[in-house]
Homo-oligomer: A and B are copies of this chain.
Amino acid sequence: MDTDQQILETFEKYLAQTLFPDEPELLYAPIRYSLAGGGKRLRPMLLLLSYRLFGDDVQRALPAAAAVEVFHNFTLLHDDIMDNSMLRRGKPSVYAKWGQNTAILSGDAMVISAYKLLEQIAPEYLPRILKIFNQMALEVCEGQQYDMDFEQKQKVSVVEYMNMIEQKTSVLLAGSAMIGATLGDASEEQIRQLRRFAIELGMAFQLQDDLLDSYGSDQWTKPVGGDILEHKMTYLMISAMSHSSESERKVLRETHRREDLTNEQKIETVLEIYNRHNVRHLTEQQISLRFDRALAILDDLGDEERTEPLRHFARSLMGRKK
């Protein structure tokens, strides 16, 4: 059986061979730049590992795996314009490097290129895969829209936030798992279970991302407190809001704008309210709940040996040893 590392290398090789024309240079160079920029290849890996749970010939699943990776990178190109982000994976974003119009148009060519990869799928699978892919792709757009809507809103409930991150983060993982399982001839019930696995795992991952941004850890390399300074709606902020008094909520809403405080003081002020309401513990509980649910679903999908690659994927995604 291939190891994860072998599967990843096979995928990287396939993706690098995926041909984009040379001309027009300004359309395709940003696509090559974006795909060569690394990233963890989480979605294609989840697709391939989900396939491997049922099928043996990993080659059959490579075009779909490349399609979800190209689609994911397309969303980054356009998100970076919408969020005015100049950096992506530590390098200039396509938006920063080539400008807005190129990021729009190369992004468009990229989403079409994702569909072009689906041409490689065997005809008997194509209708089902196209349907899952479309549903996934639309829900990602919906999640991005809800995320932008939240920035305008005074009040966001925990349930609304959970729905948003489910759409924005988990949906692409869920679609990848479903496509892999479908190509492996899994049953409807097994596909449904892998979908739940991916959603719970994606939520755990997103919540952990929220937590680390405010509390840091050994693995966290970005500066701590970024979300607080940008007043981003995160699970921590929304939980704190829902447990706070009116006067505390005012502090949570206004601290990031105060000109009399340094960044360190702003972060400290907000963390102090988080701590008062045990937000860190609440978030850790929620992460464990989601992560444990994800692993429990795998128990139904096969014995430990068979499901070990997906368990390993889940643990390394969360930076956990066990």
Which A residues form the contact surface with B (CB < 8 A)?
23-24, 26-27, 78, 81-82, 100-101, 104-105, 107-109, 111-113, 115-116, 118-119, 123, 126-127, 130-131, 133-134, 137-138, 141-142, 144-146, 148-149
Contacts and interface: CB of A to CB of B under 8 A. Distances in A.
As for how many copies of this chain the complex holds, the number is 2
A148 B104 CA distance: 13
A112 B111 contact: yes
B149 A26 contact: yes
A116 B26 CA distance: 28
Contact of A24 (B107, B119, B134, B149): B149
A146 B141 CA distance: 28
B112 A119 contact: no
A105 B78 contact: yes
Given A127-B126, A130-B118, A130-B130, A24 B145 contact: yes
A138 to B, nearest CB: 5
B108 A82 contact: no
Contact of A105 (B26, B123, B145): B145
A215 B23 CA distance: 34
Contacts of A27: 141-142, 145
A179 to B, nearest CB: 15
